[in-house]
Structure 1
Amino acid sequence: MMLSVFPVLLSLVTAYVSARIPDGRLHANMPPMPLMPFEPVSNSVTHAKTGASMPPLNTTYYFDQLVDHTNPSLGTFKQRYWMDWEYYEPGGPILMFTPGENNAENYTMYLTNGSIFGMIAQQEKGATVLFEHRFFGFSNPYPDLSVASLKYLTIQQAIDDLAYFAETVKLPMPGGDNVIPDKAPWVLLGGSYSGALPSFVKVNKPDVFWAGYASSAVVQSIVDFWEYFDSVRRFMPQNCSADVQAVVQHFDQVFTSGNQSAITALKDAYGMKDVSHLDDVAGALRNNLWDWQKLSPLSGPGSLFFQFCDALEVKDGKNAPASGWGVEHAVNAWGTYFKNTYMNLLCGDVDVATCIGTYNASASVYTDTAVNNAARSWQWIVCNEMGFFQDAAPAGMPSIVSQLIQPVASDMACSLLCHAFASPPVPNVQKTNEAYHGWDVKVDRLFFANGKRDPWRGATVSADSHTVASTPSQPIVVSDGFHFSELRAAAGDVDPTIKNVQTQALSYMHTWMEEWRNIQGGK
């Protein structure tokens, strides 16, 4: 049985409101989301102290980055970045971040005090730098995403990019030629995969960045990441959870029964009659559950996840009890919603078999090597180094995902995607965790922010399965939020637990910047 492992690539234009998948992009694994983009009120900027006009926020700059940090003779490529120094004063920190697994040009709002990054910059009179990750967007060493090109996409090369930039860049701002890490404190920040990078960098290159900020940081690479959906199960509305479990069990019973007429009828009820492989059909149901990842304290009651639960749990104007309405109603209600409403969001004009199916080796998701294809670039990292296959809970445990969705020793999807993996193509998560210490990271001046309802929490230092102590040099602060909820400044206005995370982050960063100033003053 094949395990689908392709991320849903959500539209930046709709800021993750829709789960629509463009032609050839498959539905399988949701990545640790890149920082959620949100638009600045204006790209116009003036310096907070002098009032001088500054370049617009969306001004793109280019840095000559090494193609291969182990072989500089291969030359350089143009790596894109953006920056804002509206609060900067000499001696202030340089705050650097990347959205990670996506085109970075839609993330300029994170340069401003609409985000916690900009709030830190404002407090400490620093500058912010938005940096595009290699092989995402248009920061590509080569003009395609072929296997020959992607061999230069590794976590270590990404770490080396960040350090080489900090150590050699001449920033396009007043005094920007005199702010390398031995002359100014640099802070590396991020959320999700990009939130893991501050941890990885502090382990691998401890002397480059003075401090780090890691939001919902997936520091522990895991192949069989069934905990993702188990977290959703535990925190979603209880009646919805009960009915989803009942429906999933019904699918498993029918799909393993050998009764072809019952199998066809169930597929047709969900609009997937033409999808050949039963694990593709069962796997497609995860899309409604992945919508949990898009929730934030700023989400309204009309968000896609709660639309889905309402479709199952509201009947004749009444809400279901905690035990749900039961399997018969839930199977019919979910089918009606999925077929008549959600399928259009998921697939648009793409035929269902192409949209849902994962076995066609000639599908464009496997064969399209054009640049600016975040799904392909991210999947390369997944298949080689990080894993995160989101599947059913172990047998005998409650599960909101079909037991047909299981990790396998040799993942065909990775082979189809890149055609050149070593055998077996299983992510070498042990190597990744040993290199960057995973849950066991112990470094100085690294702030971890996590959310109790984050489905990725099991891969963070706040995982239930692994106890990591919070210390003054490596504090861990947990809100009631979701995935990197505290990054939006406005989220603190609606959730006091998120405000607490933001307040503590600002306090720790101020303390660590004072430590830098004291050390510099003593030299």
Structure 2
Amino acid sequence: MAFHGSGSLLRNVALLVLLSVFVNGDGQFRGFRRFQLYSSQRTVFDEQWFTQRLDHFNGADSRVWKQRYFVNEAFSKPGGPVFLMIGGEGPVNPAWMQNGTWLTYAQKLGALCLMLEHRFYGESHPTPDLSTDSLRFLSSRQALADLAHFRSETAEARGLAGRKWVAFGGSYPGSLAAWFRLKYPHLVHASVATSAPVHATVNFPEYLEVVWRSLASENAECPVTVTKASSALVERLKDPKTYDNITADFNLCSKLQIQTEMDSAYFLETLAGNFMDVVQYNEDNRGFEGVTGTNITIKVLCSVMGDTSLGDPYARYAAVARLMMDTFSIKCVNISYNSYLGDMTDTSWNGPAAGGGRQWVYQTCTEFGFYQSSDSPNQPFTGFPLVYHVKQCADFYNVSAEQLAEAVAQTNEYYGGYDIRSTRIVLPNGSIDPWHALGVTRDITPDLPAVFIKGTAHCANMYPARSQDLLQLTLARDHVFLLLQKWLK
């Protein structure tokens, strides 16, 4: 989700489609590659506030803060289940209180629907700032404890004793949904953990391997041409005499300057992000969220990369970048790593990365890794190796490579990674979605079923159904419903 990724808050064109499926922010940074701009949504659901503990694991710390949530009681029937949609690495979008497959299930099952925003994202500010000292209270473990406390207090306040709770989430919140059931089985009866990257890893080159296969599924020559284009750009970057032309070709905001390997890696990843983002959300029905760019699909990108009238592969690569800029109304691309560093180290809640960028990258540096490096030979891009990602942890938060590796190992030790052991968790994933490489795509047990949906992208089964949906997507939604129906008997 998760990733997202992932909006042009921090930079501009490439990482436009980041963050989690039902939360949309206005950032542009590494992660689940899902952060999308969304328009202000008219909603009949007022935001509500829950008094939450700052540190659930220190009884001597009595500090509290206000956490945002939303409620939809339209389908609630006496004795029916309670559905809890888990927020992720960005502001929760109230459009999800009126749209999405979970509401279809709620209507059929008579569920009360709640959506809780994740600490440190959106309007849920536990601390006065985003300093590294404040961010030590940002973790999946604290977020799960937030969910547990919210669930317990809400059940008592609303008279929900005896009603069964079901957790929903997509991407990183999908992992949280699975882990909520794992760690608090007495509080949550079942979970739908969509596109959940349950296995943490420092280096995640498999992401781009799936991008290659997803592009090839449209046209076998498409990823080959992208590889030629990316390699041609890398060669040009070796000669400063080409910098004026590159500046013009990619509409850079200022003349290209490559002073360190971080500069070139940042630029190359930005351009690769155009393809990564589109593949991740290929043809997902996201329009209700207010996002733009849903018309840009793998088919569109491969059409541009295959258009010989545009010139050589390098020229077509630049044409893709300009297409993305036009789509998102971006005038120029700022590819300065120093500028990005400045944005990411601004610790105020009004800073350019406060929409989620600074927070999410902190979580990757202290829990998950998930770095989508170009280290594999079986993918189309080059120039942004693992060392580039890891150095950001040191630059932004003073987290060393050794600390990062230990943190990721602890995450898998705590949650189990691929070997999660629980019951009544369904784990849907799409074959086009690069995040499925860190998810569960085969049944673990009959009570830990996977739903692997061929031809679909990130969190596709969570979005509203439409007539052009693939049959396997429709069947997947139906299968999840039948599981819920059985588990809630």
TM (norm. structure 2) is 0.83
> Please, which of 312, 318, 323 is the counterpart of residue 335 of structure 1?
318
Structure 1 partner of 2:302: 309
Give the counterpart of 2:486 among 511, 514, 517. 511
Corresponding residue for residue 249 of structure 1: 231
Counterpart of 2:379 (choices 378, 382, 399) is 399
Match of 1:441, as an amino acid? I
Where structure 2 has 5 or more consecutive residues not aligned to the other structure, the ranges are 19-25, 287-292
What amino acid is aligned across from residue 228 of structure 1 in structure 2? Y
CA distance in 2, matches of 1:291, 1:303: 7
1:337 Cα deviation after fit: 4.4
Q: Tell me the distance in 2 between the aligned counterparts of 1:269 and 1:346.
A: 18
Q: Deviations over 1:67-118 (max 9, x none)?
A: 00012433211111101111111111111012311111x2x33334x31211
CA deviation map 1:442-475 (0-9, x unaligned): 211011111111111111112xxxxx43532111
The answer to whether the aligner puts 1:500 opposite 2:475 as a matched pair is yes
User: What letter matches 2:206 in structure 1?
Assistant: E
CA distance in structure 1 between the aligned counterparts of 2:240 and 2:163, rounded to whole angstroms? 68
1:374 aligns with 2:356: yes
| Partner SS for 1:433 | helix
Asked whether the 8 Å contact 1:222–1:387 carries over to 2, the reply is: yes
Change (3 A) 1:472 1:149: same
Aligned-partner Cα distance in 2 for 1:274–1:36: 27
Task: Give the aligned residue type for 2:265.
Answer: D
CA RMSD of aligned residues (A): 3.2
- Distance change >3 Å, CA 225–CA 69, structure 1 → 2: same
Structure 1 residues 286, 304: CA separation in 2 closer, same or farther (over 3 Å shift)? same
CA pair 196-307 structure 1, distance change in 2 beyond 3 A: same
Task: Say which of 200, 220, 240 aligns to 1:221.
Answer: 200
For residue 432 of structure 2, the aligned residue among 439, 453, 464 is: 453
Q: CA deviation at 1:126?
A: 1.0
Residue 47 (structure 1) aligns with: none
Alignment match of 1:127 (pick from 87, 101, 112) = 112
Q: Quick one: which amino acid aligns to residue 66 of structure 2? A: K
What residue is the counterpart of 2:187 in the other structure? 208
Instruction: Summarize the alignment of residues 318-329 of structure 1 with structure 2, pairs less than 5 Å apart.
Output: 329=312
SS, match of residue 285 in structure 1: helix
The answer as to whether partners of 1:35 and 1:191 remain within 8 angstroms in 2 is no
Match runs of 1:32-71 below 5 Å = 33=34, 43=43, 56-57=44-45, 59-71=46-58
1:285 lines up with 2:252 in the alignment: no
Larger Rg: 1 or 2? 1
Moved more, 142-151 or 210-219: 142-151
Give distance in 2, aligned partners of 1:356 and 1:202. 42
Match of 1:490 among 442, 446, 465: 465
Q: Is the 8 A contact 1:221 1:438 kept in 2?
A: yes
Q: Offset of 1:281 from its aligned partner?
A: 2.6
Shift of 1:239: 2.5
Q: What is the CA–CA distance in structure 1 between the aligned matches of 2:440 and 2:284, rounded to whole Å?
A: 22
Deviation of 1:206 (Å): 2.0
Per the TM alignment, residue 398 of structure 1 is displaced from its structure 2 partner at its CA by: 2.9
Amino acid at match of 2:223: S
Query: Conserved in 2, the CA contact under 8 Å of 1:280 and 1:356?
Result: yes
C-alpha distance 424-275 of structure 1, shift in aligned 2 (>3 A): farther
Structure 2 CA distance for partners of 1:252 and 1:451, relative to 1, 3 Å: same
Tell me the distance in 1 between the aligned counterparts of 2:204 and 2:116: 29
Q: Secondary structure at the match of 2:84?
A: strand
Corresponding position of 1:363: 342
Q: Out of 88, 91, 95, which is 1:100 matched to?
A: 88
Aligned residue in 2 for 1:475: 449
**For 1:311 and 1:166, how far apart are their aligned partners in 2?**
49
| Alignment correspondent of 2:22 | none
Correspondence 1:195 to 2:170: no
2-side partners of 1:34 and 1:100: how far apart?
11
Q: Distance in 1 between matches of 2:319 and 2:15?
A: 21
**Count of residues in Structure 1 that have an aligned counterpart in Structure 2:** 454
Q: CA deviation at 1:391?
A: 1.4
Match of 1:165 among 112, 125, 150: 150
Hey, what's the Cα distance between the residues in 2 that align with 1:345 and 1:266? Answer: 21
Instruction: Name the TM-score, length of structure 1 as normaliser.
Output: 0.78
Which residue of the partner structure matches residue 437 of structure 1?
Answer: 416
Q: String of CA shifts for 1:365-423, please: whole Å, max 9, x gaps.
A: 322421652111111111110111111142xx332111x211129833222223x4356
Q: Is the 8 A contact 2:7 2:16 kept in 1?
A: no
The alignment partner of 1:411 has SS state of helix
Task: Kindly provide the amino acid, as one letter, of the partner of residue 278 in structure 1.
Answer: S
Distance 1:304 1:156 in 2: 36
Q: Tell me which residue corresponds to 2:64.
A: 76
